[in-house]
Amino acid sequence: MKKILPLFLFWAVIIYTLTFLSSSPVFFDYSYQATSMIKEDLPSVRHLLNFDGGHYQNISHFGYIMKFQTAFFPLYPSLIKLFAFLTNSHLISALLISLVSTFFVVKLLPINIIFFPLSFFLLAGYTESLFLLLSLLSWHLFKQKKYLFSGVFGFFASLSRFYGILLFPSLLLEYFLKLPKNTRFKLGSYQPVIPLLLIPLGLVVYMIYLQYTYQDPFSFIHAQSLWNRGEIISPFRTVYRYIKILTTVSPTIIQYWVALLELSSLALGVLATYVLYKQKQFSYSLYVFLGSIIPSFTGTLQSLPRFLLVLFPIYFIKLPTKFRPLLLTASFILQLVLLTAFLTGRFIA
């Protein structure tokens, strides 16, 4: 921890300094529809709440006033509203939740995570750091056979984003593989892990709320049409679409590089799935596979680089010792480039 803390603080200072120095005076709310976006008068840090961060702010102030906002799960904005009573600022509350969550994430994970190209989102007004902490705690407590607490943290993870539901099949597979082979298909063997049912219950609770409010328990899925994710498409068609973009669009256009990043993220997720499988980390492999492949069924890989950030088993893969410094350096430089693009509204993830 003595070595990790200075590196964590150094990284955080770099991210915040670049945010303070951002030349863009604009707050990008990316609102899609006419909503009253909250813009607190803190321009030096407000850039970290660009795009989706603005929606979490809006929900924390007013609740779900527009149906499309149901794409953003409720735990993070609820915590923002709760802590705003102490900070007197929803914006500061959001960033504090992210900072504290990231600190504990770094304690639980290899320090490699801060070099990941999209790691700056952990410090932004997004749900990444909170979700990552909750999912890590769920796995950590499961490994300690504290199944009730594992289920509780899994419950909150699935209240913070849809990916929380992926904890359930992955943890169940982990338990299945630890059982003696002659008991794996006996229902009684699974009595100790009944609390894991709390994990999907988090999503069910949200769906009940959506049914009560909008008479549509799946509105968080239907809202995806605003992001061009309105129908199920073969992953092969999605990949073909990206290959077509990369072979027809000029590299001088930023959309080319965004498409390259998104397709590379899918390739990285699939590669990590394979490596974890070969290492006989089957439950980790399943978790990364599901998290990587699900977006490809929507016809777009938009946001996949950010989704990949929270698939923590990736960070347990050891990089080749010979190339590790080079890979981490290149990854960190890419992070700074993407952060600059995000702060100035040229990169949406």
For residue 212, being part of any structural domain is answered with yes
Give the pLDDT of residue 40.
Answer: 55
Question: CB under 8 Å to 165, separation ≥6 — which residues?
Answer: 158, 199, 200, 203
Residues 113 and 170 in one domain: no
Confidence band for 36, pLDDT divided at 50, 70 and 90: very low
Residue that is last in its domain, among 210, 227, 244? 227
Instruction: State whether 57 and 169 are in the same domain.
Output: no
Q: Last residue of a domain, which of 126, 151, 167?
A: 126
Instruction: Flag whether 333 is in a domain.
Output: no
What does the alpha-carbon distance between residue 329 and residue 306 come to, in Å, rounded to a whole number?
19
Q: Based on the structure, what is the number of domains in the chain?
A: 3
Residue 43 has what pLDDT?
60
Residues 269 and 243 in one domain: yes
**Domain-ending residue, one of 85, 110, 126:** 126
Q: Is the dihedral of CA 116, 122, 125, 127 positive or negative?
A: positive
Same domain, 116 and 11: yes
Instruction: Please state, for a pLDDT cut of 70, what percent of the chain lies above it.
Output: 93
Q: For 198-229, how does the pLDDT look when each residue is reduced to its tens digit (9 = 90+)? A: 999 999 999 999 999 999 999 999 888 777 77
205 and 244 co-located in one domain:
no
- Residue 34's pLDDT is 46
Residue with tokens 């909503």: 35
105 pLDDT higher than 90: yes
Residue 27, pLDDT > 90, answer no
Q: Is residue 334 part of a domain?
A: no
- For residue 108, being part of any structural domain is answered with yes
Which of the four pLDDT bands, split at 50, 70 and 90, describes residue 2?
low
Please say if the pLDDT value at position 46 is more than 70. yes
| 113 and 164 within one domain | no
Identify whether residues 155 and 107 lie together within a single domain: no
* Domain assignment of residue 257, yes or no: yes
Please give the model's pTM, rounded to 2 decimal places. 0.93
Section 75-91 average pLDDT: 92
Q: Which domain holds residue 275?
A: 230-317
13 within some domain: yes
The alpha helices in the chain, defined as continuous H runs, are 4-20, 43-46, 52-62, 75-87, 90-108, 128-143, 147-160, 167-178, 198-214, 219-222, 235-248, 254-278, 282-293, 304-309, 324-343
pLDDT digits (tens, 9 = 90+) for 271-315: 999 999 999 999 999 999 999 999 999 989 988 999 999 999 999
Q: Token pair of 71, please? A: 């794409």
- Same domain, residue pair 148 and 99: no
Residues 163 and 271 in one domain: no
Question: Do 27 and 46 touch, CB atoms closer than 8 A?
Answer: yes
pLDDT tens digits, one per residue of 119-168: 999 999 999 999 999 999 999 999 999 999 999 999 999 999 999 999 99
**Is 98 found in the same domain as 118?**
yes
* Domain-located, residue 322: no
50 and 111 belong to one structural domain: yes
Q: For residue 92, is pLDDT > 50?
A: yes
Cβ neighbours around 69 below 10 Å, total = 23
